[in-house]
A and B are shown apart, each in its own frame.
Chain A
Amino acid sequence: MHTLFADSFATLGRLDNVTLVMVFHPQYLESFLKTQHYLLQMDGPLPLHYRHYIGIMAAARHQCSYLVNLHVNDFLHVGGDPKWLNGLENAPQKLQNLGELNKMLAHRPWLITKEHIEQLLKTEENSWSLAELIHAVVLLTHYHSLASFTFGCGISPEIDCEGGHTFRPPSVSNYCLCDITNGYHGVEEIHASPTGSIPSTESVCEVEALMEKMKQLQECRDEEEASQEEMATRFEREKRESMFVCSSEDEESAATRDVSRHFEDTSYGYKDFSRHGMHVPTFRVQDYSWEDHGYSLVNRLYPDVGQLLDEKFHIAYNLTYNTMAMHKDVDTSMLRRAIWNYIHCMFGIRYDDYDYGEINQLLDRSFKVYIKTVVCTPEKTTKRMYDSFWRQFEHSEKVHVNLLLVEARMQAELLYALRAITRYMT
């Protein structure tokens, strides 16, 4: 862990709070830092200040002031033009062109078509090259999902950034549960204290019930075989249901600082997949998967990044300590797969070989609300949501869930973007 911190400090010049939270899962953190370092600092098609600016653009889409502040500093540090920070319209036309893609990727990636890609790549003065575009897309998706993580775990601002000194973080999420600025051990202490004032018996039942369900599903899998139609409708139902799972409180908090300057069209947000009669065909993973297609494309145009992302997805998906709350030696693969597929389901990505009924069994409503909020509208996440799901689980497990959310979301966005690029190329 210390070497990880040391590496992180050496490359970032700081030990940021994201790192401090992620260190719950050092194996993942290592891969995460390696990827981020490669994307931001190593050889790549885009100049350094562009990379940070794209990071700012992406984070600003979710009004994530934490990431924006962080990258404004870095942007200026690598010699970026301060004027650009006054808003996207002050940036070069080339970056402005990327705004549309950024918007769609963040909120409705399924609408990206090869025409959008064509727009960006068509030969003119401000056009993008394929390699640059891939780099930009990876950066955008990386920061969209990192914004989800920031809100999902309630990362508080860095001590040297605006708001870092105040006790009440000015970021949109008004909680600082993992107020990690106090260091790693702060979290441990919170651990020890019982969360909230919920009677513990009830919550114990929660975990037991979940485990029971998992066991049941495991056993009855072979016996009860749902018909194909049933399976298809289950997917549709889950998709539809995910629309209604909505955070009830729509507290509209003003974006602090000047985060809003960095993005236009504030009204454009997550619209539920295929809500308004607009029919978007379901994305079948079997036809375009990360392992087979996405990887090859990325690695071809931006060498090594495919490998790094592949490792990161892999670690996130397979990470397990075989524990659940106070229980040991639990096979959590089913639960993890349900979470992963639920997120992809919200983006309209379907696995032919998955029974979406399982999701309903395993993920209760408050958990679904949390997932949906963090993934789709992270800026609306509240501490209450964080507290109210999986009450017995350790914080490290909740962070683990967040890692799953982050990676699943990133992969979903990437898949749509890469599919559009592939279609453009053929």
Chain B
Amino acid sequence: MEKMARVTTALGGNTLSGRTMFCHLDAPANAISVCRDAAQVVVAGRNIFKIYSIEEEQFVEKLNLRVGRKPSLNFSCADVVWHQMDENLLATAATNGVVVTWNLGKPSRNKQDQLFTEHKRTVNKVCFHPTEVYMLLSGSQDGYMKCFDLRKKDSVSTFSGQSESVRDVQFSIRDYFTFAATFENGNVQLWDIRRPDRYERMFTAHNGPVFCCDWHLEDRGWLATGGRDKMVKVWDMNTTRAKEIYCVQTIASVARVKWRPECKHHIATCSMMVDHNIYVWDVRRPFIPSAMFEEHKDVTTGIVWRHLHDPYFLLSGSKDSTLYQHIFKDASQPIDRANPEGLCYSLYGDLAFAAKESLISSDSNRKPYIGDRRHPIFFKRKLDPTEQFEYISSSSALSVFETDVESGSMDWFVHTAKQYALAGRPLAELCDHNAKVAKGLDRNQVAQTWTMLRIIYSSLGNVSSANLNHSMGKGSAALPLMNSFNLKDIPSGLGSESRLDRSKGESRTENILMDSSSTLINNEDNEETEGSDVPADYLLGDVEADEDDLYMMDHENPHAEEQEYSLPQEAFPLRHEIVDNPSALDHLQDKADSPHVSGNEAETVSLTPVESFSLISISHSLYENRLPSDFFSPIVRDTLLFYAEQGDVQTAVSVLIVLGERIRKEIDEQTQEHWYTSYIDLLQRFQLWNISNEVIKLSTCRAINCLNQASTTLHVNCSNCKRPMSNRGWICDRCRQCASMCAVCHHVVKGLFVWCQGCSHGGHLQHIMKWLETSSHCPAGCGHLCEYT
């Protein structure tokens, strides 16, 4: 060996010394175990079963337990364990389901002592009781655990896990009667050795098989488990519920875990596949192993600390047919090679950067970036005196780079988020409102964008409505009129205004200009008076259809296909003064994949004919050119991409929501989703919960929409047996009883259940309400004076 380090530790008179060394075995090892005095190690595998003594410089083969000409399957070991009380006593688990004990004190060559052939399948694990000489526990693939008394021929008790193959069994070191068993389906069970009928406690520890577990040597309640899901978890069993206190994510499924002696938080692991190294983790620092042994060439199958009180010597056996003794001094420490650094942006654009002090100081002669102010803050973590194995200096430096106060201020973001209107009003109004908001915050470009959007989409809406030439007569008399004015070559904005003037007089126009709700009311009023006006206008404007047809259409609203969309949309804003939002209806239409989008647009637009005056000339010219709104889609898309690219995802998302279906198809789903998540993330970091929720609600991305449908489950426990009710909320699978009965009607409550906090009686919401109207006592007759507020 190239490494010649010598380590000697005093262990109460006993001294352990040695170096990193290895020896070749003839065959792959499956498991290893050490003798109590740490001087010998037993190696077991399919084709090997030998005892080696651990000398200063090397391993020396002491004994080959695999005797006989035709070795039977009883020698094919899956696991081996050396008794910690009696140094002559060994037990192995054979792959054919036999548990064998060996007595080294036997004079004959064959040391085989007893044979237990009770398991039907491979035995995965055997375990001696830590303080009781004759007690042996085994766990098998057939799902049973058996406890043997070595003085008897048969097992003393059998424990049925009821849940699948047992992968590991371990006696608790502190509690005399307790043992833990891990299962292939991810469960861990705790048993009392005196009660074979039922486990004391069960919890799901891993996703997939739990390959191993290990009780902490000192801390009574700590159990470490390792599973196929590549996790090592530490559970605290002292509480009523097993609580996961630490979790280490490794890179491969975990085959063995072993707590390191004398070090409270250290644990050694090796993996089942692919990864051949042995790691020693500090569970409080789960991202990087504190030590690593890289000697093996194939997967490590067994690890064991050489002595119960010595943290420096680790023995390991492997599929590559070697047995190693690792010395902690020779371990490689990945932490040394890692440069701990952290980088984070704050909400306000400040950048914090933390690194090891040594790295920073070597860097200090570099010029700070111009334009950034640097406020280096240094602080040192106090070294924990009790933690003797903390090798790494934990002093680090934190630098904060602040951006300019003005440019860094995110007030505009908050204000914009709060003031933007995203839905609930017609498109043009939304655009105008948002433009105003943007302008108010001196964001002229954004304001301009909103204005342009308004022009593009709402003005063009007129075109399409003109083509559609229908249906708007009643609620929004403006439209057909626009058509007519167009023919007369009068600017549309003015046209609508003047038309309204004509029909209703000056006073009304003002209202209309003020707010949309009154517009709607006005329009409602319109309905009654319109009969006289509209036909005349039609006569002016409409060339194709004759009067009666149109008139009929207006009143009866007979276009069947459109009915379900256009009707509610007209109806809602009209009657409820913008309680509901049209964009929600847009979503409805998205789902139905409506072919009538244009008609819908027309309506939205037609409700706000008056707003466009400042832009009359533009809209007019566009109108004249008769460009479909689709024409602008690529430009709008580029605009949004531009904003998102600039970091202003707020504008991008807001426009996306406001335009809805008009632009949605232009941008691919993933980009949209990305924007939404970014924006929602920002909103939440500013604690603008309501707005973020509104955005989620309004989004049309499915992935986003379902965000606030996550974790809406309510878990209930049965009132009788206190166990969670998995299937239905009202009947317990275990005790076959209906859990929640109504105290008034004595029927099962399947929906809303209301109960008194004082006496815990309750029932159907309606029944209880009714009951408490007449009586103040509890309907169950318990005498409690219930209150219902």
Contacts and interface: CB of A to CB of B under 8 A. Distances in A.
A426 B184 CA distance: 26
Contacts of B96: 228, 231, 352-353
A291 B298 CA distance: 19
A271 interface: no
A245 B297 CA distance: 43
Residue among B117, B228, B252 with max Cβ neighbours from chain A (10 Å): B228
A425 B72 CA distance: 32
Contacts of A225: 117
A250 interface: no
A300 interface: yes
B276 interface: yes
B141 A287 contact: no
A148 to B, nearest CB: 27
A285 to B, nearest CB: 9
Contacts of B276: 426
A293 B141 CA distance: 16
A286 interface: yes
B117 A287 contact: no
Interface of A: 221, 225, 227-229, 231-232, 284, 286-287, 291-293, 295-297, 300, 307, 310, 352-353, 422, 425-426
Contact of A228 (B72, B298, B320): B72
A284 B94 CA distance: 13
Contact of A426 (B95, B97, B298): B298
Interface in B277-327: 297-299, 320
B122 interface: yes
A310 B273 CA distance: 16
Contacts of B502: none
A352 B272 contact: no
Contacts of A293: 272-273
B273 A291 contact: no
B95 A353 contact: yes
Interface of B: 46, 70, 72-74, 76, 78, 94-97, 117, 119-122, 141, 184, 208-209, 211, 228, 252-253, 272-274, 276, 297-299, 320
A296 B46 contact: no
B274 A297 contact: yes
Given A228-B72, A231-B73, A426-B297, A300 B252 contact: yes
Contacts of A228: 72-74, 96
A231 B117 CA distance: 14
B46 A287 contact: yes
Contact of B95 (A232, A284, A310, A425): A284
Given A232-B73, A286-B46, A352-B73, A296 B95 contact: no
B274 A296 contact: yes
A361 B721 CA distance: 46
A372 B586 CA distance: 61
A28 to B, nearest CB: 18
Contact of A284 (B46, B120, B297): B46
Contacts of A353: 95-97, 119-122, 141
B513 to A, nearest CB: 52
A293 B320 CA distance: 16
Nearest 6 interchain pairs by C-beta? A228-B72, A352-B95, A296-B273, A286-B95, A352-B96, A353-B97
A310 B228 CA distance: 12
B78 A286 contact: yes
Contacts of B117: 225
A300 B78 contact: no
Nearest to B94: A352
B122 A297 contact: no
Nearest to A227: B72
6 contacts: A291-B209, A292-B253, A292-B273, A293-B272, A296-B228, A353-B120
Contacts of B274: 296-297, 300, 422, 425
Contacts of B121: 353
A353 B95 CA distance: 6
Nearest to A286: B95
A300 B273 contact: yes
A286 B76 CA distance: 10
Nearest to B118: A222
Nearest to B45: A287
Given A292-B253, A300-B274, A353-B122, 17 more contacts: A227-B72, A228-B72, A228-B74, A229-B72, A231-B96, A284-B46, A286-B76, A293-B272, A293-B273, A296-B252, A296-B253, A297-B274, A307-B208, A352-B94, A353-B95, A422-B274, A426-B298
Contacts of A310: 208
